[in-house]
Amino acid sequence: MKLEVITLFPEMVEQIVAWGVVGRAAKNGLLEFGTRNPRDYATDVHRSVDGRPYGGGPGMVMQPEPLAACIRDVRRTLPQAKVLYLSPQGRVLDQAYAAELAALPELVLLCGRYEGVDERLVTCEVDAEISIGDYVLSGGEPAAMVVVDALARLLDGALGHRESAQQDSFSDGLLDCPHFTRPEVWEEQAIPAVLKSGDHKAIAAWRRQQSLGRTAERRPELLEQLKLNRQDQRLLDDYLSQRGVDQND
């Protein structure tokens, strides 16, 4: 996948390919990552990219010309690319959306600073807006890094067998189960006995039950999206009754 981020702070966003799983995907050529600075497309001596808002008010707005020139230049090398603008007005990222993006051959992420970008630029050059959640950042860059991280790890071959994306939280719409490592007893707390039983079926059932139970307790709206089979329903009922919660609640 070819991915380009348009940003006034390229060094910030480039950190996303410096480390870890995303860095490895880039090194191995699964992810061809680049950044582009709209300031390089400004035409005045001050290389300005922002202006005061029409109608007044605080802050500045990113001007359309340098951004349009920048996007059109990117489109020459990535002719199939979807251009997504990071903004709280966009479709909120979730695991299914990340998977959709990971399936694209080319993607451009546009980061805004200041109060946002001139709306005419959004109308003409942006295919969709994307949000990472209902809170306000000071710029699109951290959001772009989140998007890149979430989709890069889904690229074919990005994760080792042991890290497989099939075991992730949300890949089946549920939260993850708890994890434990050595020591077996830490500060008077032993690990759940089943994990030492060697009974792989019992371990898988316990993990599934923990995922179901934790999702029911912490994110009931996620569980409502799912139709549980009889086995899962039974695991969940047992989990909730062990905790003294009325199953009909």
Q: Is 101 in the site for ligand 4GX (CB under 6 A)?
A: no
110-65-45 Cα angle (round to 5):
110
Of 99, 94, 100, 90, nearest to 131 by C-alpha is: 90
The tokens for 164 are 């497989």
Q: Which residue, 86 or 150, is less far from ligand 4GX as judged by CB?
A: 86
Residues 6+ apart with CB under 8 A from 96: none
Strands (E), the chain: 2-6, 32-36, 50-51, 61-62, 82-92, 106-110, 128-131, 185-186, 189-190
Complete edge-to-edge strand list for the sheet that includes strand 2-6: 32-36, 2-6, 106-110, 82-92, 128-131
115 is annotated as an active-site residue: yes
Strands (E), 95-209: 106-110, 128-131, 185-186, 189-190
Positions in 11-70 near ligand 4GX (CB under 6 A): none
Among 115, 163, 172, 184, binds ligand 4GX (CB under 6 A): 115
Q: What DSSP designation does 52 have? A: P
Among 116, 152, 155, 239, binds ligand 4GX (CB under 6 A): 116
Q: Is 137 in the site for ligand 4GX (CB under 6 A)?
A: yes
Residues 6+ apart with CB under 8 A from 192: 180, 206
3-state secondary structure of 235: helix
Among 20, 51, 105, 133, binds ligand 4GX (CB under 6 A): 133
Q: Which of 24, 36, 113, 153 is catalytic?
A: 153
Q: Taking the complex as a whole, how short is the minimal distance between the CB of residue 143 and ligand 4GX, in angstroms?
A: 3
Q: Which of 32, 40, 100, 115 is catalytic?
A: 115
178 is annotated as an active-site residue: no
Judge whether 239 and 209 are in contact, CB under 8 Å: yes
Q: Is 178 in the site for ligand 4GX (CB under 6 A)?
A: no
Q: Is 185 in the site for ligand 4GX (CB under 6 A)?
A: no
Q: Which residue, 92 or 190, is less far from ligand 4GX as judged by CB?
A: 92
153 is annotated as an active-site residue: yes
Q: Taking the complex as a whole, how short is the minimal distance between the CB of residue 97 and ligand 4GX, in angstroms?
A: 12
> Phi and psi for 102 in degrees, rounded to 5?
-65, -20
Q: Count the residues in the chain.
A: 249
Q: Which residue, 10 or 139, is less far from ligand 4GX as judged by CB?
A: 139
Among 112, 155, 210, 239, binds ligand 4GX (CB under 6 A): 112
Q: Which residue, 19 or 135, is less far from ligand 4GX as judged by CB?
A: 135
Q: Taking the complex as a whole, how short is the minimal distance between the CB of residue 146 and ligand 4GX, in angstroms?
A: 8
> Active-site positions?
88, 115, 153, 168
Residues in contact with ligand 4GX by the rule CB under 6 A: 86-88, 112, 115-116, 131-133, 135-137, 139-140, 143
